[in-house]
Structure 1
Amino acid sequence: MGRSYEQLSLDDRCEIARLSANGSSIRQIAAALDRSPSTISRELKRNRGRQVGYKPGYAEQRARARRWTGSRLDREPGLRRAVLDRLGQGWSPEQVAGRLARDYGRKVISYESIYRFIYAQLRRTSDYSWRRYLPRGKSKRGLRGKKSSSPASFIEGRVSLAERPIEAADRKVPGHWEADLMMFSKYGQAVLTVHERTSRLLLGIRLVSKVARGVARHLVRLFADLPNSLRQTVTFDNGTEFACHRALHGLSIETFFCDPHSPWQKGGIENAIGRMRRFIPRKTDLATLSNARFRRLVAAYNNIPRKCLDFRTPAEAFSRVLHFECESTTPPLQR
């Protein structure tokens, strides 16, 4: 049966001070208080004043000051401001903790401490605006609806994801993309999003309509400006807005589709859209969102550090890939 331990009380400290002043050894004091010698030794070392020696009242104050008095974010206003500022920009607690560690070369705070701080504010204040600091901003998980029939049979030339090149799956080779529509509450409003699997770069295009020909035309214009090696494959779900996917074949881009009812197979773009919801919620009226504001929000997403990138940002990761590609394809100087 394990031994139970209790904190020293003020009476215990008074007895320690009396016995120590009388010249008793640490083991004699420990025997008198029925404590271990290490407890008495630690108490005398940690709670002794340099000038006053060991005094019960002073020792009690020192011990209380060391006890946990709340979250570090409660105790350190500077750190709290730095964390909340980044959370307010759309960073997740894990991204905040990881980037601080990268910037300072040491662990500053854990993401679990940040989560606990936010949840503590929700409980303490009942102010649900604190949820805006959380990655999804939800208090409850939504229920999944029943599966309906899939429009996959209406897509000509559809190739299953199972036939996608193996190098696209491990994310080590750039040039493999995922695409999807970011939908909104107001009928007809949508944003075409594409996501590069290696760098996690996200590009967004506001759509006037979801007609398949128009969506394909936007995709062709977007990928036409990239080097050949950075436009190898694109993966879609089975929405009919991607029915004209074969227009990309003219750029030597292979197109693949998820299995019916399996959008998780293109998890990168699904996760990216979920993150973008913090900036552009589903209830947003795109007609009131200026193009400049829209571009700034996409840029904000691409400048948030990611754990999977060793807390680099997608913009930093893609710029490195693009730089190396341009360097490797630049023709040598003629002598």
Structure 2
Amino acid sequence: MGRSYEQLSLDDRCEIARLSANGSSVRQIAAALDRAPSTISRELKRNRGKQVGYKAGYAEQRARARRWTGSRLDREPGLRRAVLERLGQGWSPEQVAGRLARDHGRKVISYETIYRFIYAQLRRTSDYSWRRYLPRGKSKRGCRGKKGGSPASFIEGRVSLAERPIEAASRKVPGHWEADLMMFSKYGQAVLTVHERTSRLLLGIRLASKVARGIARHLVRLFADLPESLRQTVTFDNGTEFAQHLALHRLSIETFFCDPHSPWQKGGIENAIGRMRRFIPRKTDLAALTSHRFRRLVAAYNNTPRKCLDFRTPAEAFSQVLHFECESTSRPSPGRRG
């Protein structure tokens, strides 16, 4: 059988340093440690400092530095550029890894490798601008939440989410939406966001005020332009800004509300707002954000691949649904000439 070899440990290096300082020869040290003389000779030659001689801590540090070859993104500049470019566009590591795999027809890199690379840069360089490559722009992960009173009892005609059609929960049938307000630190500023559950398409409307009647008018105008099959239900939280939801019933749209203190029940829009926060943080002054820039940011969200869509983009998924609906409604009936 062949002889097996083990790396020298820190304890071994401490003993080598002690014996070497006492004047022991290479062969005497090797005999004391039950190692080959060549192993000791190589250790003393490689890990000795010019100024300090052989020190166990310094030798251990030198040995570890030689074994570390860097992450894959350190070794492959082309792949690193491709990953960082997409992260800079607001993609998450999982979206980057999934889209690269879809484009190349094979797995290129894992999202965990990307996360480890970013966190390694944070630790190694103490440059916290690297955190901006992460989806939420945070160095630490966590959740915050605080429960307060609910205005659910003030909403006329409120129907619980438990009564929503079962096909809405499955996300397999298009036409079921979620709506919420994206709030900002400056008083009175908000964006009305609407999210389609199947395609994950996001629509955003900047508001002049949060008055319920005005929000209802915006929603009616938005949904009136869609085919009837793509405007079946809308789910809200219990904010009084949605108190005029009954206006949507004129378009045969059913409206439902989450349970009090349960925003996770409309997780699609909550996730979408969280992603948009990367580009439009709470401290943003909407008055200084041009309409062109706002539309570009919403378009960037809709053109970012999603794992839940097999790394298609929400725009691609919704356009496919919309094309199918238009084709089915424009098809000539039997007996009519095209």
Question: How high is the TM-score relative to the length of structure 2?
Answer: 0.80
Give the 3-state SS of the residue equivalent to 1:203 in structure 2: strand
Q: In 1, Cα distance between the equivalents of 2:205 and 2:324?
A: 26
Give the 3-state SS of the residue equivalent to 1:192 in structure 2: strand
Per-residue deviation, residues 88-126 of structure 1 (Å, max 9, x unmatched):
000000000000000001111100000000000000111
Q: 2:207: which partner in 1? A: 207
Please list every run of 5 or more consecutive structure 1 residues that lacks an aligned counterpart in the other structure. none
Q: In 1, Cα distance between the equivalents of 2:25 and 2:326?
A: 76
Deviation of 1:138 after TM superposition, in Å, equals 1.5
Per-residue deviation, residues 251-270 of structure 1 (Å, max 9, x unmatched):
00000000000000000000
Deviation of 1:144 after TM superposition, in Å, equals 3.3
Deviation of 1:66 after TM superposition, in Å, equals 11
Q: 2:83: which partner in 1? A: 83
Per-residue deviation, residues 14-56 of structure 1 (Å, max 9, x unmatched):
9999999999999999999999999999999999999999999
Give the 3-state SS of the residue equivalent to 2:321 in structure 1: helix
Q: 1:25 to 1:318 in 2, by over 3 A?
A: farther
Q: In 2, Cα distance between the equivalents of 1:186 and 1:51?
A: 60
Q: 1:189 to 1:39 in 2, by over 3 A?
A: same
Q: 1:238: which partner in 2? A: 238
Which shows bigger deviation, 132-141 or 235-244? 132-141
Q: 1:51 to 1:258 in 2, by over 3 A?
A: closer
Give the 3-state SS of the residue equivalent to 1:193 in structure 2: strand
Q: In 2, Cα distance between the equivalents of 1:276 and 1:17?
A: 57
Per-residue deviation, residues 150-189 of structure 1 (Å, max 9, x unmatched):
0001100000000000000000000000000000010000
Per-residue deviation, residues 302-330 of structure 1 (Å, max 9, x unmatched):
00000000000000000000000000009
Per-residue deviation, residues 183-241 of structure 1 (Å, max 9, x unmatched):
00100000000000000000000000000000000000000000000000000000000
Q: 1:24 to 1:198 in 2, by over 3 A?
A: farther
Which shows bigger deviation, 280-289 or 324-333? 324-333
Deviation of 1:149 after TM superposition, in Å, equals 1.1
Q: 1:116 to 1:237 in 2, by over 3 A?
A: same
Q: In 2, Cα distance between the equivalents of 1:95 and 1:155?
A: 39
1:334 aligns with 2:320: no
Which shows bigger deviation, 264-273 or 12-21? 12-21
Deviation of 1:146 after TM superposition, in Å, equals 3.4
Q: In 2, Cα distance between the equivalents of 1:202 and 1:268?
A: 10
Give the 3-state SS of the residue equivalent to 1:179 in structure 2: strand
Q: 1:313 to 1:22 in 2, by over 3 A?
A: farther
Q: 1:64 to 1:153 in 2, by over 3 A?
A: closer
Give the 3-state SS of the residue equivalent to 1:249 in structure 2: helix
Q: 1:298 to 1:16 in 2, by over 3 A?
A: same
Q: 1:312: which partner in 2? A: 312
Please list every run of 5 or more consecutive structure 2 residues that lacks an aligned counterpart in the other structure. none
Q: 1:60 to 1:245 in 2, by over 3 A?
A: closer
Which shows bigger deviation, 102-111 or 3-12? 3-12
Q: In 1, Cα distance between the equivalents of 2:321 and 2:24?
A: 71
Q: In 2, Cα distance between the equivalents of 1:333 and 1:26?
A: 100
Deviation of 1:333 after TM superposition, in Å, equals 6.0
Percent identity, please: 92
Q: 1:164 to 1:57 in 2, by over 3 A?
A: closer
Per-residue deviation, residues 44-90 of structure 1 (Å, max 9, x unmatched):
99999999999999999999999650111111111111000000000
Q: 1:244 to 1:39 in 2, by over 3 A?
A: farther
